[in-house]
């Protein structure tokens, strides 16, 4: 256990941040699943809309530090390639 007041505060802060980051990652995954489902259904218009909604969410995850920049770029690139292939 923590022996200093500052260490106790750091533990509390880390726990709060963990919960917030967990929620952010979960939200990003939900948006990605929507795109995946739209691609699986074969509806390009729906998939394009889902991807358009997911893009800012993924970039926000990069800004907030829950996702690496290259991971986000790779994910978006692969998804957009698959959406384009539906045509």
Strands annotated E in the chain: none
Domain with 25 in it:
5-85
| CATH label of the domain that carries residue 56 | 1.20.58.110
Residues of the chain with pLDDT > 90, as a percent, come to 95
Query: Do 36 and 42 meet the contact criterion of CB atoms below 8 Å apart?
Result: no
Please tell me the predicted confidence (pLDDT) of residue 17.
Answer: 97
pLDDT band for 87, please (50, 70, 90 cuts): confident
pLDDT in tens, 2-29: 899 999 999 999 999 999 999 999 999 9
Please tell me the predicted confidence (pLDDT) of residue 1.
Answer: 82
Structure tokens at 59: 């970039």
Alpha-carbon span 50 to 83, nearest angstrom: 10
Interval 54-58 mean pLDDT = 97
Closest CA to 25 of 36, 37, 35, 17: 17
**How many structural domains are present in the chain?**
1
């Amino acid at each position: 256990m923590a022996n200093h007041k500052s260490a106790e505060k750091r533990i509390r802060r880390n726990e709060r941040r963990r919960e917030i980051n967990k929620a952010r990652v979960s939200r990003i995954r939900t948006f990605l699943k929507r795109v995946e489902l739209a691609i699986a259904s074969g509806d390009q218009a729906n998939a394009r809309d889902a991807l358009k909604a997911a893009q800012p969410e993924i970039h926000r995850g990069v800004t907030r530090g829950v996702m690496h920049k290259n991971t986000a770029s790779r994910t978006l690139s692969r998804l957009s390639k698959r959406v384009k292939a539906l045509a």
